Amino acid sequence: MANRHAELLAMLRTLKLPAIAEQVADLALRAAKANLTHEAFLYEILQAEVAQREQHRIARLRRRSGLPAEKTFRTLQLERFPPAVRQQVERLRAGTFVADAVNVVAVGRPGVGKSHLLAAVAHELILQGHPVLWTSTATLVQRLLAAKRDLRLPQALAQLDRVAFLVLDDIGYVQHDQDEMEVLFAVLSERYERKSVGISTNLVFSDWVRIFKSPLTTMAAIDRVVHHSVILDLLPVASFRAHTAIEEQRQQHMIGATPVAERATREEVTEPPAPE
């Protein structure tokens, strides 16, 4: 019996069924106690294998994504956003937009949560089994420029094509020169109507000429991005980071201020007495 069990484990590992190999003894014992049929027992062990493979696949997708681990829906304060944006985000969470190659553009001032929103959506896509890549626009552009110099740009673009959702973070922060603009435009053109792109930017579309330089190229880039897209308008939202910093300073003052500091603060906000 012991020899047969050892041979069974060896065969399972040869067949690359590690989850069954790890759990077969416990599953067999539970099956015997529950008086399961052979078919029901087979279902249980295969279900264990499939579940473990899916867990490993999601972990692998997460490692390769480059996503900031902390920027998920669990840490996102959705109540800060306008109702229309919250409705858009809830629809994006379903993940169906990637099948239609719909783009997602988050526009707003620095610190409002553009990157967090896109990262949270990307994390949900990974849980659904979609490959995702998160990168700053500057990093991707430099990577593609290096590939272009090595005559490997088509291969680099083909590698990006394996990604269902490509997130270009902070597209407006880097002022691109001609070569940089061309490779960025190439990415948008390659994915147009085929694969989804997520973009966070502090520039409204009328200012994208600062990125692409030529008005004609700017119009073409905007057309490729917005033709099939969801625009998350965060321009009315106040900076979350600025608000947080102010609140932290206020809390520190309330907890650690000395009586002298407290008096000084009161004096700063107290209007001077009216002249007699």
- Looking at the fold, whether 134 and 216 belong to one and the same domain comes out as yes
pLDDT digit string, tens, across residues 226-257 = 999 999 999 988 765 554 554 555 566 555 54
Q: How much is the pLDDT for 250?
A: 54
Q: How much is the pLDDT for 262?
A: 38
Number of H helices, E strands in the chain: 12, 5
As a whole number, the mean pLDDT across the chain is 86
Mode of pairing for the β-strands spanning 132-136 and 165-169 = parallel
Average pLDDT value for residue range 94-115: 95
**Does some domain include residue 261?**
no
pLDDT digit string, tens, across residues 53-69 = 999 999 999 999 999 99
Look at the chain and report how many structural domains it folds into.
2
Q: How much is the pLDDT for 251?
A: 61
**Does some domain include residue 265?**
no
Q: How much is the pLDDT for 217?
A: 93
Q: How much is the pLDDT for 229?
A: 97
- Looking at the fold, whether 136 and 19 belong to one and the same domain comes out as no
- Looking at the fold, whether 224 and 92 belong to one and the same domain comes out as yes
- Looking at the fold, whether 60 and 171 belong to one and the same domain comes out as no
Q: Is the pLDDT of residue 82 over 60?
A: yes
- Looking at the fold, whether 60 and 117 belong to one and the same domain comes out as no
d(CA 234, CA 39): 54
Q: How much is the pLDDT for 253?
A: 56
- Looking at the fold, whether 103 and 219 belong to one and the same domain comes out as yes
Q: How much is the pLDDT for 133?
A: 98
- Looking at the fold, whether 172 and 211 belong to one and the same domain comes out as yes
**Does some domain include residue 251?**
no
Q: Which domain holds residue 44?
A: 2-65
Contact (Cβ atoms closer than 8 angstroms) between residue 166 and residue 160: yes
- Looking at the fold, whether 51 and 158 belong to one and the same domain comes out as no
Strand extents, DSSP E, 45-113: 103-107
Q: How much is the pLDDT for 240?
A: 59
By CB atoms closer than 10 A (0-12, 13-18, 19+), residue 249 is exposed
Q: Edge-to-edge strands of the sheet including 103-107?
A: 132-136, 165-169, 196-201, 103-107, 229-233
Q: How much is the pLDDT for 144?
A: 95
d(CA 82, CA 71): 19
Q: Is the pLDDT of residue 199 over 90?
A: yes
- Looking at the fold, whether 104 and 224 belong to one and the same domain comes out as yes
Average pLDDT value for residue range 27-47: 89
**Does some domain include residue 254?**
no
- Looking at the fold, whether 43 and 117 belong to one and the same domain comes out as no
- Looking at the fold, whether 32 and 124 belong to one and the same domain comes out as no
**Does some domain include residue 36?**
yes
pLDDT digit string, tens, across residues 121-177 = 999 999 999 999 999 999 999 999 999 999 999 999 999 999 999 999 999 876 668
Domain final residue pick, 35, 65, 95 = 65
Q: How much is the pLDDT for 261?
A: 37
pTM of the model: 0.77
**Does some domain include residue 132?**
yes
Q: How much is the pLDDT for 72?
A: 96
Helix (H) or strand (E) holding 136: strand 132-136
- The CATH number of whichever domain residue 144 belongs to comes to 3.40.50.300
- Looking at the fold, whether 95 and 168 belong to one and the same domain comes out as yes
